[in-house]
Chains A and B, each alone.
Chain A
Amino acid sequence: AQSVTQPDIHITVSEGASLELRCNYSYGATPYLFWYVQSPGQGLQLLLKYFSGDTLVQGIKGFEAEFKRSQSSFNLRKPSVHWSDAAEYFCAVVLNYGGSQGNLIFGKGTKLSVKP
């Protein structure tokens, strides 16, 4: 079955430190990959997406992610975390249906806390 795994439920980092959030997926084909962020009481906002091409993608708010086919991973990174980055982060995938529509399959999320 299709699945997305975010191994870390909760991560705490100090402000200014670097961040890496892990995401692994299980599919036979190359999926489309996404990272979303959800602040408390809010909906989800897209940080970045990978469809094809360059495996290192840049997103909003200084985030980037790298697609590694050999590891079935799409880890999210940020060189220097700000207090406002405290939120819950979701990795999501959808199969490349080649034109027809699919739905997002989300990981369980990683909650990020930022220490001053």
Chain B
Amino acid sequence: KAGVTQTPRYLIKTRGQQVTLSCSPISGHRSVSWYQQTPGQGLQFLFEYFSETQRNKGNFPGRFSGRQFSNSRSEMNVSTLELGDSALYLCASSFSGGANTGELFFGEGSRLTVL
């Protein structure tokens, strides 16, 4: 069974640009969550999608958005990039959704560098 796949793995952008990251969950998983990991702030929850609906959202500005498609694949978008957006963005999937119902399976992440 294939794991969670995130693309691209590495990317470099400049301030003011926008970026789209993609996540393909494990087959059969309907929930996709996104996390930002930085050395200073650690791992922070961005949002969770379940059956194409955003079910939960962390405390991030509106520049961070996401969506989920009917095949459960998810994308997140960051507009008007700032230097502080440089981070490892991790996607996690689960069958029923939510960390309190079972295990989250994480991808290897997309490392974004903003210059």
Q: Which residue of B lies closest to A31 (CB)?
A: B100
Q: Is the Cβ of B56 less than 8 Å from the Cβ of A103?
A: yes
Known contacts A43-B90, A109-B42, A102 near B56 by CB under 8 Å: yes
Q: Is the Cβ of B104 less than 8 Å from the Cβ of A101?
A: no
Known contacts A90-B43, A103-B48, A103-B56, A32 near B100 by CB under 8 Å: yes
Q: Is the Cβ of A105 less than 8 Å from the Cβ of B101?
A: no
B42 to chain A minimum Cβ distance, whole angstroms, is: 5
The reply to whether the CB of A116 lies closer than 8 angstroms to some CB of chain B is no
Residue with the highest number of chain A CB atoms closer than 10 Å, among B48, B98, B103, B107? B98
Q: CB-CB contacts of A45-63 with B at 8 A, as 1s and 0s?
A: 1100101000000000000
Give Cα A109–Cα B45 distance, bound, in whole angstroms.
15
Tally of contacts, chain A with chain B, CB under 8 A:
68
The reply to whether the CB of B55 lies closer than 8 angstroms to some CB of chain A is yes
For chain B, which range describes its interface: under 10, 10 to 19, 20 to 34, or 35 or more residues?
20 to 34
Q: CB-CB contacts of B37-52 with A at 8 A, as 1s and 0s?
A: 0000011110010100
Q: Is the Cβ of B48 less than 8 Å from the Cβ of A43?
A: no
Q: Is the Cβ of B56 less than 8 Å from the Cβ of A104?
A: no
Q: Which residue of B lies closest to A42 (CB)?
A: B108
Query: Which of B4, B44, B55 interacts with A43 by CB under 8 Å?
Result: B4
Query: Which of B50, B56, B99 interacts with A92 by CB under 8 Å?
Result: B99
- Of all A-B residue pairs in the complex, the 5 with the closest CB atoms, nearest first, are A101-B98, A43-B106, A106-B43, A103-B45, A44-B106
User: Can you list 14 residue pairs at the A/B interface with Cβ under 8 Å?
Assistant: A36-B106, A41-B108, A44-B90, A45-B106, A51-B100, A94-B100, A100-B98, A101-B50, A101-B99, A101-B100, A102-B100, A103-B99, A104-B33, A109-B42
**Other 16 A-B pairs with CB < 8 A, given A102-B56, A106-B42:** A32-B99, A43-B107, A49-B103, A94-B99, A97-B98, A101-B48, A101-B50, A101-B98, A102-B99, A103-B48, A103-B99, A104-B35, A104-B43, A104-B45, A104-B99, A108-B42
Interface residues of B (CB under 8 A from A): 4, 31, 33, 35, 42-45, 48, 50, 55-56, 58, 90, 92, 97-101, 103-104, 106-109
